[in-house]
Amino acid sequence: MFAIQDKKTPLRVLILISLAHCLNDTTQSLVIALYPLFKGNFALSFAEIGFLSFAYQMCASVLQPVIGFYADKHPHPRLLPTGMAFTLLGIVCMAFSTNYTWLLAGSVLLGAGSAVFHPESSRVAYMASDGKFGRAQSVFQLGGNTGQAIGPLIAALFVATHGQQSLAFFACIPLACCVTLIFISRWTTAQNRENAKKQQSQNNAAPHPAWRRSLVILFVLMASKQIYTVSLVNFFTFYLIHKFGVSVESSQIYLFLFLGAVALGGYVGGPVGDRVGRKPVIWFSILGAAPFSLALPHAGLGWTAVLTVAAGFIMASSFSAILVFAQELTPGHVGAIAGLFFGLAFGLGGIGAALLGKIADKAGIDLVYQICAYLPLIGLLTFFLPAAPRQR
């Protein structure tokens, strides 16, 4: 399918891996968007809803760094379709769940699929970057963020009206993705052989002198952004229904607008980071998002939509900058860094979701958004980051 000598092949691979990311995250966000349906069908508490997210996120977080580290040392492109097979099993499991235990099992399978898919697919995006790492990561993230936005829309327009078992129809999404990833894995295998010497020199390159401190700061920044995003993704529909009395279908549309803004922001941030530097983009995502997040708990319905769209766009703009910054600090560890940030940072998002669910049960959903309003301010830690390695 791909000719390695064709100069356009890396761009095609980048587009295809972004499409695969879109299909993968469409499936997973579709399930998350159906939490209100599961809550009604199985009489779940907010804490149990939070624990569903915790099971998914923690399974992904524990496995992703391990898989990423292993793939850096022993590239194994066939992990791509294997991970998607786990996602396929997870969505079928949740479609036919008859109790909460099966829902948890489906969440674990989805988490395993995410853990296997993301580190290796991020490595593929890096390989197909042609030196424009921020742009490549943004294109890759655009696929994932678009999929996350599409999922709630499908939930609102189809699954919410046709019932839980109609979720099985969308098992065709990861199935189609498996086919796409088989072709990509073949190209990646050939590239690994061709670039073996270059990869060895990257593995032997010295890391940035302040890489440990910088990775901790970048990790905290990513985790704070993820917890804020999780608070909106997992509980935004409940917040809108409780505070403004909107229908489930209408709340999904608002969630779609937020996730669409996240997708657009994630795409814009990477190319801008290539041009002006990673650190300015990270600063913008903090100073720009904080006013909107702080105003959100006090806004009416119309302004709530505006504020969430603005906050989502601005906060997402730094995702690619943070990830590429971390990869440039530690040459030769692209998969491990992707696994660390996709995995552990997202896992902290799952822990945050479980804790926020407890708070919502005891003190009300409004308090969740009053607490999360201050999360963007953690980004002031950016002050302690060094100059980006490629711009020193």
Residue 160 has pLDDT above 60, yes or no: yes
- The secondary structure of the chain, three-state, reads CCCCCCCCHHHHHHHHHHHHHHHHHHHHHHHHHCHHHHHHHHCCCHHHHHHHHHHHHHHHHHHHHHHHHHHHHCCCCCHHHHHHHHHHHHHHHHHCCCCHHHHHHHHHHHHHHHHHHHHHHHHHHHHCCCCCHHHHHHHHHHHHHHHHHHHHHHHHHHHHHHCHHHHHHHHHHHHHHHHHHHHHHHHHHHHHHHCHHHHHHHHHCCCCCCHHHHHHHHHHHHHHHHHHHHHHHHHHHHHHHHHHCCCHHHHHHHHHHHHHHHHHHHHHHHHHHHHHCHHHHHHHHHHHHHHHHHHHHHCCHHHHHHHHHHHHHHHHCCHHHHHHHHHHHCCCCHHHHHHHHHHHHHHHHHHHHHHHHHHHHHHCHHHHHHHHCCHHHHHHHHHHCCCCHHHC
According to the model, what pLDDT value does residue 4 have?
Answer: 45
Select from 84, 40, 92, 25 the least CA-distant residue to 263.
25
Cα dist. 118→24, 122, 149, 165, 203 in Å?
A: 10, 6, 18, 27, 21
Residue-wise pLDDT for 37-50, tens only, equals 888 888 888 888 87
Q: What is the CATH number that goes with domain 9-391?
A: 1.20.1250.20
Q: Which residues are within 8 A (CB) of 319 and not within 5 positions of it... i.e. 6 or more apart? A: 141, 222, 225, 266, 269
Name the amino acid, one letter, at 261.
Answer: A
Tell me what the pLDDT averaged over the chain comes to: 81
Average pLDDT over residues 180-199: 73
- pLDDT-derived band of residue 307, with 50, 70 and 90 as boundaries? very high
Highest mean pLDDT out of 118-122, 259-263, 305-309, 353-357: 305-309
Average pLDDT over residues 180-192: 81
Q: What is the model's pLDDT at position 292?
A: 93
Instruction: Please answer whether residues 343 and 64 qualify as being in contact, where contact means their C-beta atoms are separated by less than 8 angstroms.
Output: yes
* Tokens at 43, concatenated: 């009489």
Q: Is the dihedral of CA 353, 359, 365, 366 positive or negative?
A: negative
Q: Cβ contacts of residue 62 below 8 Å, gap of 6+? A: 115, 343, 347
13-40 pLDDT, tens per residue? Answer: 888 888 888 888 888 777 777 777 888 8
Average pLDDT over residues 350-354: 73
The predicted pLDDT at position 300 comes to 92
Question: In angstroms, rounded to a whole number, what is the distance separating the alpha carbons of residues 371 and 344?
Answer: 22
Angstrom distance (rounded) from CA 88 to CA 86: 5
Residue 391 has a pLDDT of 45
Stretch among 72-86, 198-212, 340-354, 359-373 having the lowest mean pLDDT: 198-212
Please report which confidence band the pLDDT of residue 52 belongs to, taking 50, 70 and 90 as the band edges.
confident
Higher confidence at residue 1 or residue 218? 218
- pLDDT tens-place string over residues 94-103: 888 888 889 8
Percent share of the chain, pLDDT over 70: 90
Sequence ranges of the domains in the chain: 9-391
Residue 237 vs residue 209, higher pLDDT: 237
With a cut of 60, say whether residue 241 has pLDDT above it: yes
Q: Say whether pLDDT at 296 is over 80.
A: yes
Is this model's pTM higher than 0.75 or not?
Answer: no
Residue 3 pLDDT > 50, yes or no? no
User: What's the pLDDT score for residue 150?
Assistant: 82
Residue 1 has pLDDT above 70, yes or no: no
Side-chain-side CA neighbours of residue 97 (13 Å): 23
**In the predicted model, is pLDDT for residue 127 greater than 70?**
yes
Measured CA to CA, the distance from residue 312 to residue 259 in angstroms comes to 7
The span from the CA of 29 to the CA of 181, in Å, is 20
Rounded CA-CA distance 196/311 in Å is 42
Q: To the nearest whole percent, how much of the chain has pLDDT over 90?
A: 6
Confidence of residue 299 (pLDDT cuts 50, 70, 90): very high
For range 343-366, the mean pLDDT: 77
Tokens of 255: 């969630």
Q: Kindly state the tokens that stand for 212.
A: 């440990």
Q: Report residue 200's pLDDT band, with 50, 70 and 90 as the boundaries.
A: low
Q: pLDDT at position 295, please?
A: 93
Q: Once rounded to an integer, what is the mean pLDDT over residues 44-60?
A: 80
